[in-house]
């Protein structure tokens, strides 16, 4: 008499051992420099419709109120929301 045994699946019939996503992987740096209280020096490149200055540092948008285009300012980050930081001016650098 021949006994046939069925192989048991540990992962289930619809699960795979590899991962696949249609969305690109976002690499987040491990140093996490953009955090509340961080002091950075930025150059204002643009102004939004409310009059806030906008600077871009390493692909992150920093919004600085009371700044105009071309200002070099030292700021402290007050709030971080996603990939946008909101900062307050500490001093103007000429």
Structure confidence at residue 93 (pLDDT):
93
Q: How far apart are CA 55 and CA 44, in angstroms?
A: 5
Note down the domain range covering 78.
39-93
Q: How far apart are CA 75 and CA 90, in angstroms?
A: 5
Domain assignment present for residue 22? The answer is no
> Is 82 or 5 the better-scoring residue by pLDDT?
82
Domain with residue 77: its CATH number is 2.40.50.140
Domain assignment present for residue 82? The answer is yes
User: Residue 48, CB half-sphere, CA atoms under 13 Å: how many?
Assistant: 11
List pLDDT tens digits, range 43-94: 999 999 999 999 999 889 999 999 999 999 999 999 999 889 999 999 999 7
Domain assignment present for residue 8? The answer is no
User: How many domains, the chain?
Assistant: 1
């Amino acid at each position: 008499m021949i006994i046939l045994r069925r192989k048991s699946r540990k992962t289930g019939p619809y699960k795979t051992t590899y991962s696949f996503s249609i969305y690109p992987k976002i690499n987040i740096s491990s140093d996490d420099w953009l955090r509340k209280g961080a002091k950075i020096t930025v150059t204002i490149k643009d102004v939004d419709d409310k009059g806030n200055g906008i600077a871009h540092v390493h692909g992150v948008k920093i919004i600085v109120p009371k700044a105009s285009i071309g200002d070099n300012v030292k700021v402290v980050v007050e709030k971080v929301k996603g990939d946008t930081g909101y900062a307050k001016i500490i001093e103007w650098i000429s």
